[in-house]
Chains A and B, each alone.
Chain A
Amino acid sequence: MLLEVKDIDSGYGFLQVLWKVSLQVDEGEYVCLIGPNGAGKSTTLKTIIGLLAPIQGEIFFKGKPIGRLSADTICQLGISYISEETNLFTAMTVRENLTMGAFTVRDKTKRKENLDFVFELFPRLRERHNQLAGTMSGGERKMLAIGRGMMSAPTLLLVDEPSLGLAPQVTADVFRALDALRNRGMTLLLVEQNVTKTLKVTDRGYILEKGKIVLADRSQSLSQNEHVRKVFLGI
């Protein structure tokens, strides 16, 4: 088991959002976490990556507890987080953003390899390597954010709502990129609102409602599930 989240309670200050959330991700899996707005999906990812400290419970990565570590340490252990709002360095160029993504990689040749890999994955970024991140379109920013996350060659990629605010065509591009990563053996934990599409591409899924996991199953079974069909697919 690569990632194990065990009974975590988490939230912002006095506002508790998550109640005993547990989930697991195995090596090479493509897992999704879906749920309505405000269910606590982003909070779950932020707690895993260490931007929020869990009130209770523990998180294990490769068997080691990481629940009390800070985000920069967790990043060095091999988890990358692509946030909803991308958190790019807007006044830096595309190339500088990618270089910062490899901040924890000390080996120069390794950095170069990662950069080539990202440029191969997103040729658009290579074309625009000298452009400021803040002047790029929404889709390009998402790609840059994913590329920056890939620069540290992580073992686990947490992706928060990659389709948020994107045109359907661009969303398809982003999903294609995630598929490509998955085919290269990357482990992914995806948070999405686009339930139909997400359940089609992922292996397993968790349904989060009001801060609690209400369902966990293979994605295919989830898309047949009565509750899911009623709440998310509107059938």
Chain B
Amino acid sequence: MIDARPERSILNHFADGARSAAGITILATAALLVAATIDKGPYIIVNTIVTGGMWALMSMGLALVFGVMNIPHFAVGEFFMTGGLLAFFAVTPFNDFLSRHPQPFVSAISPLIAIFAAALGGYLLGVLSEYIIFRPLRKRSREQWVMNTFLLTLGISVFMINGHQLVFGTEFKGIVNYWNYPSLSIFGVYISFDRVFVFTFAVIVMAALGVFMKFARMGQAIRAVSQDETGALMVGIRLNKIHALTMGLSCGLGALAGACLLFMFPSYPTVGIGPLYNAWFVVIVVGLGNVAGTVVGGFIVALFQILTTVYIGEGYGFVVPSILIIIILIFKPSGIFGSPVRGVLDR
């Protein structure tokens, strides 16, 4: 067979990309970022990058459960809270021990242990929620599935918030920083080691997840289930196993974000609500169920939030992104990268 399409140069592709909704949004955001940086200094870039990476991780989890299991997960914020809590309780004994017996090696790796423990805890809690909540419902009825699971996740969220309050109280459980290292100077800006670590770690986790989804047997199975559930059954994939894995991954990513950002968001019962909204903003901006798009979306939403806080005021942090979401839902409900969800004006 001869490919009938004429040769296209990279420039052509670039021009096409720039004209698409995603291209316009990305270019506009980049321009905004540069303008704000010139106006207010480079810390805007730094904050965007640090929080954007984590919002991207959380929304990856959201996009995964939505794409694979059709569950709009509204309790991911509480897994963020749980992750912070677990990391706090894991790192505090280390810090107590280290204040008495300083040991550079232990102090270097103890935060890592705490973060991994938190992610693992989130993963296990996610698997547990699949086993005791979603699987029984799936067996009973798949009618009104999205609505029912939406209500269920809201229930989980309320349960976890109040559970936290009941057991651990309402006070802030946070730390000043994970590592007591001097700030790093990047382009003349001093950035704390924690922030550099958080960004690097987010990139590593995203890349690892990408490799897992593309090449690993289980990752491929997850993609297969999201694309055609019947087809997946026909080739012998156990849906139960994939559902548990996906829910675990999603909740684990939420907990991981909460643990990584513990120095910015101390754990208290309702700390997860802000991050939850952010993750949903990201998912709506890029299109429901689009996992790869969340990488870009995370940074876009983080930038908008930071710009709003800087230029308009702290209290408006959620107002401007919400307006953005409303505009996107009206004009491009399938998100800037597109997804099978279609809207009224999207013909």
Q: Which residues of A contact B (CB under 8 A)?
A: 49, 51, 70-73, 75-76, 80-81, 83, 86-92, 96, 99-101, 103-104, 127, 148-149, 151-152
Contacts and interface: CB of A to CB of B under 8 A. Distances in A.
Contacts of A127: 1
Contacts of B113: none
Given A51-B230, A92-B220, 6 more contacts: A51-B234, A75-B235, A87-B234, A100-B232, A100-B235, A152-B235
A101 B227 contact: no
B221 interface: yes
A72 B227 contact: no
B230 A101 contact: no
A148 B228 CA distance: 14
Query: Quick one: which of B227, B234, B236 has the most chain A CB within 10 A?
Result: B234
Contacts, number: 66
B234 A92 contact: no
Given A72-B236, A152-B235, A152-B236, A100 B220 contact: yes
Contacts of B40: none
A101 B238 CA distance: 13
B138 to A, nearest CB: 13
Contact of A76 (B223, B228, B236): B236
Contact of B231 (A49, A76, A87, A152): A87
B228 A101 contact: no
Contact of A104 (B220, B228, B235, B239): B235
Contacts of A71: 233-234
A148 B235 contact: yes
B235 A92 contact: no
A152 B237 CA distance: 12
A73 B230 CA distance: 13
B214 to A, nearest CB: 9
B322 to A, nearest CB: 31
Nearest to A75: B236
A80 B227 CA distance: 19
B224 interface: yes
A70 B233 contact: yes
Given A83-B234, A99-B220, A127-B1, A88 B228 contact: yes
Interface of B: 1, 217, 220-221, 223-224, 227-228, 230-239
Contacts of B236: 72-73, 75-76, 103-104, 152
Given A72-B239, A75-B236, A127-B1, A103 B231 contact: no
A49 B227 contact: no
Given A88-B228, A89-B228, A81 B223 contact: no
Nearest to B238: A72
17 contacts: A49-B234, A51-B234, A71-B233, A72-B238, A81-B234, A87-B228, A87-B234, A88-B231, A89-B227, A89-B228, A92-B223, A92-B224, A100-B221, A100-B232, A100-B237, A152-B235, A152-B236
A124 to B, nearest CB: 8
Contacts of B233: 51, 70-72, 75
B105 to A, nearest CB: 40
Query: Quick one: which of B1, B224, B235, B238 has the most chain A CB within 10 A?
Result: B235
Contacts of B220: 92, 96, 99-100
Contacts of B1: 127
A91 B223 contact: yes
A104 B237 CA distance: 8
A75 B234 contact: yes
Query: Quick one: which of A71, A91, A148 has the most chain B CB within 10 A?
Result: A71
B228 A90 contact: yes
Nearest to B241: A72
A81 B1 CA distance: 29
A96 B231 CA distance: 13
A101 B223 contact: no
A86 B231 CA distance: 8
B133 to A, nearest CB: 21
Contacts of A81: 234
A85 to B, nearest CB: 8
Contacts of A92: 220, 223-224, 227
A89 B224 contact: yes
Given A72-B239, A103-B217, A127-B1, A89 B223 contact: yes
B224 A100 contact: yes
A76 B235 CA distance: 8
Contacts of B235: 75, 100-101, 103-104, 148, 151-152
Contacts of B234: 49, 51, 71, 75, 80-81, 83, 87, 149
Nearest to A149: B234
A103 B237 contact: yes
Contacts of B239: 72
Nearest to B239: A72
B160 to A, nearest CB: 32
A98 to B, nearest CB: 10
A91 B238 contact: no
A211 B173 CA distance: 66
